[in-house]
Amino acid sequence: MYIDNIISINEIRVRVEKIERRRITGDISFDNNHFKLIFTYNDDIYTDENIAGLILTMPVINFTYFTGKLILDYPTSADDLDIIKKFIKINAREVFINKIINRRYDFIKEEYIPKEEDINEYNASGITEVIATVKHNGRKYPDLDKNNTIIMSSGGKESLLGYGIFNEINVKGKNFSYFFEESGSHWLTAKTAYDYYIKNFENVRKTWSNIDRFYHEMMKYIKILKIDKINIRADDYPLQVFIFPVYIFSIIPYLIKNSIGNIIMGDEFDDPRNMGDFHGIKYYYGIFDQTYDFNRMMTQYFKKKNINSKVYSIVYPITGYVEEKILERRYHDLYLNQRSCHSCHERDHVIYPCGKCTKCMGILLFIEANGNDPSEILYSDGDKLMFKKRVFKSRLRLDPDEINFTEMKLGYMPGDYKQYNHVDGIHILPFEDEPLLEIPGNFRDSIYGIFQEYTNGIYKLNDGQWSET
């Protein structure tokens, strides 16, 4: 079978090495190799071996599709095992479909690309066995404050907008921002916003980790990869699709310490009409950890674990075009710190976007279509002049209607952009009957009121079409 041929590591073992006042270290052993995985916090944390082990496990899941056994050498409960097994299966499908079959770059050796008969549930789901060595019976945590929030912060438009909104409307609770610093250049994207937050706001939290080095080390042992290609400049990881769970599990010590009852994600609108199966296999287009299903799964898991914190997004019913509009017009001070780019670079202590990657193309499209000036967030005159030529060559990760709406509005393609007017509206998703039902009641009306000021109506799917309601 295909899956048997791509197994590259017999077993990965996760062990908690040390828990300190502001640091968690673990030993990740795979066959005869070891890696010291580190999470360092900018504030005191109070945690146990169970939570620490779970934090250390999340980055490893990126490689379990190619692994025979995952051994958890720390206390785990039945609920911990259940969610880890679900994560492993979902991650396997995302890697199989998005990284190996529908790949964007030439990372995979030709002999390991599946044939038509290999595309089935068995090969997609993987064969990794999960073994827990120590049983954990769970523990009781104090109730968390439903008015306290932590915004997953990255320097992108979603997190900046979320932080701006909660700073405006949340008068009863505390707002925390959370930045995750990976070793390597990824931090440049978030650093501008982080530095601004540190100077202007309270309750800014950050974790540093060497997971970027861990990912790079692990990929050397995955036999399907072209090792000489993994260092090429690309706006996509060779294998990793399991990103946000690493961040969310790493904040658990902060949730408990600071009584935080809301974890705010930056999942913007994804048109459900474009999210079908692949050869009958359910998958998430490489963004499982940015979906309603993921948020719901995490919320339910936390509840079972007696950590009463809800995971959700406030921007899930609006498009990136609308987000950029609200951020620029209502929270301009935050907008000026936006760096939505896969390849930021630093010059004279100032961080600039590259102006060329697919992320930059999407942001430039939104800014231009909203009639704003990209130079405010440091796009160059050359970037603006070359934008139209570059955007046609880019494989933008946007819904087709969003591309059509913005490009028609700019006159880049023929047609009336108003036929895609829902792009400028608020969407009622198939899993809800009213707008913004995923947002808790103590915040919903205030957020709804802000969105209404910048949108053209409420839209719901009717016979496969978005209709105003």
Contact 54, 245 (CB under 8 A): no
Looking at residue 105, what is its pLDDT? 77
Per-residue pLDDT reduced to its tens digit, 288-334: 999 999 999 999 999 999 999 999 999 999 999 999 999 999 999 99
Using the CB atoms, write b or e for 267-286: b if 16+ within 10 Å: bbbbbeeeeeebeeeebbbb
Per-residue pLDDT reduced to its tens digit, 225-277: 998 877 766 667 889 999 999 999 999 999 999 999 999 999 999 999 998 99
Q: Is 72 part of a structural domain of the chain?
A: no
Q: Is 239 part of a structural domain of the chain?
A: no
Q: Is 353 part of a structural domain of the chain?
A: yes
- Quote the DSSP letter at residue 283: -
Domain residues for 412?
Answer: 340-424
Using the CB atoms, write b or e for 109-122: b if 16+ within 10 Å: eeeeebeeebbbee
Q: Provide the pairing of β-strand 310-313 with 260-265.
A: parallel
State the Cα–Cα distance between residues 417 and 392, nearest whole angstrom: 17
Instruction: Give the total number of structural domains in the chain.
Output: 1
Q: Is 268 part of a structural domain of the chain?
A: no
Q: Tell me how long the chain is.
A: 469
State the Cα–Cα distance between residues 176 and 145, nearest whole angstrom: 13
Q: Is 446 part of a structural domain of the chain?
A: no
Per-residue pLDDT reduced to its tens digit, 140-184: 899 999 999 999 999 999 999 999 999 999 999 999 999 999 876
**Other Cβ atoms within 10 Å of 17 Cβ, number:** 14
Sorted by sequence, the CB contacts under 8 Å of residue 6 that are 6+ apart come out as 65, 66, 112, 223, 224
Count of CA atoms in the C-beta half-sphere (13 A) of 350? 9
Looking at residue 184, what is its pLDDT? 67
Please, where are the H alpha helices in 42-120?
Answer: 49-60, 78-94
Contact 182, 213 (CB under 8 A): no
Per-residue pLDDT reduced to its tens digit, 350-378: 999 999 998 999 999 999 999 999 999 99
